[in-house]
Structure 1
């Protein structure tokens, strides 16, 4: 699999953030979350992992991978702290977080991996496929929006090694409150509304040029990551 990492050969004993999602489309909320994690966790890189077909979104057909990947490249191109990992998108089958982490650990065995998720998802993580293995391969970090309570970590204690849980308990990433979702952006495009300042300009122009999301539901729900990731 092509991981598309420009500095792969030098990534030894580095701190790498793993940020998965459908990125359909990528927007400023994604970028702000990634940058908050990079800065506050002292990460050398944040790896954006666009999904092929995630298990929690089988009810909705994703935009073709080539478009989602192109928009992501436009959004983070030239940013030295961000890279794209194509592992899931090239598999073209249902992808689970644990499989992606195994792959990345195989590529970078000496790197310390941090799984970047929304703070509200940490309580659900024990229900994900091979949750204990996920926590062995990477330290899950919940990103908290301003004005929201800190995540409850107790549900993770039983599936994590004590030393790793202690590390997790000391980690917290805060980001500004920003109300953006990909489903809202798709709905705005479908209803002919502007998406300026919600996505990077290059992404906005790509969406308009290729006629993406014109048939999206006008009031689609904000879809959260499922327990089976």
Structure 2
């Protein structure tokens, strides 16, 4: 990966923050709900920086043809705009060996560029987290990195605990502050970690529904940033 420039993707090692949020996903397309989740996680957990990283090859979505990585990277850059503390990352760029991008491997690589005292928080939406048992080395991922999970109001938070791998149990509900629920996790060999739940994410947006809407001529979904919509139209994306 090339060193970070003002107009390009960021590398973690080029800033000194010690609480780093990593927000990976397909971002097909990136929308205001993504930005809202990153902003809420940053504010609630006191993160120094959030890296937003479109994934080149999502292991669980290999049966769906995603928009080219270069387009999703460009749209994500536009979606972030001038959001303070958020940076585009190419940490999940296409691999030279053509294999899928596994988050655990990506984060391990990122850690080599971080200060020794840094802590990485994984940010994701509740619906994505419900598939955690299918993720590569799920227990290792959960035990090594605290997760920050955004859920829309009314989401049944008990589903989060039910989605955990069988080897992980919820140790205790440690505290509940305004807009934050913290759960302790216990894995094998007494390993411990945490889940941070954000139950008040107001934007309930489906990327699938956005793509369907964009197939209609002249559609201008309100959940898309204007610059992102302009890019989509200019490049003829999401047409049948």
Partner of 1:105: 111
1:195 aligns with 2:220: yes
The structure-2 alpha-carbon separation of the partners of 1:160 and 1:28, relative to structure 1 and needing over 3 Å to count, comes to farther
1:5 aligns with 2:5: no
The structure-2 alpha-carbon separation of the partners of 1:214 and 1:121, relative to structure 1 and needing over 3 Å to count, comes to closer
Partner of 2:205: 180
Partner of 2:151: 144
5 Å-filtered alignment, 1:31-42, equals: 31-42=35-46
1:126 Cα deviation from its structure 2 partner:
4.0
Partner of 1:94: 100
Q: Deviations over 1:97-140 (max 9, x none)?
A: 11111111121143111111223444542442112321243112
Contact 2:52 2:88 (8 Å CA) reproduced: yes
C-alpha distance in structure 1 between counterparts of 2:111 and 2:189, whole Å: 18
C-alpha distance in structure 2 between counterparts of 1:160 and 1:140, whole Å: 18
C-alpha distance in structure 1 between counterparts of 2:110 and 2:39, whole Å: 20
Partner of 2:177: none
Taking structure 2 as the reference length, the TM-score comes to: 0.78
1:69 Cα deviation from its structure 2 partner:
0.8
In structure 2, list runs of 5 or more residues that go unmatched: 170-185
C-alpha distance in structure 2 between counterparts of 1:120 and 1:48, whole Å: 18
1:45 aligns with 2:70: no
SS in 2 for 1:46: strand
1:203 Cα deviation from its structure 2 partner:
0.4
Q: Which has the higher strand share?
A: 2
Q: CA RMSD in A?
A: 2.4
Of 175, 187, 209 in structure 2, the residue corresponding to residue 159 of structure 1 is 187
1:15 aligns with 2:19: yes
C-alpha distance in structure 1 between counterparts of 2:10 and 2:132, whole Å: 27
1:73 Cα deviation from its structure 2 partner:
0.8
C-alpha distance in structure 2 between counterparts of 1:120 and 1:22, whole Å: 14
1:65 aligns with 2:69: yes
In structure 1, list runs of 5 or more residues that go unmatched: 216-229
Q: Which has the higher helix share?
A: 1
Taking structure 1 as the reference length, the TM-score comes to: 0.81
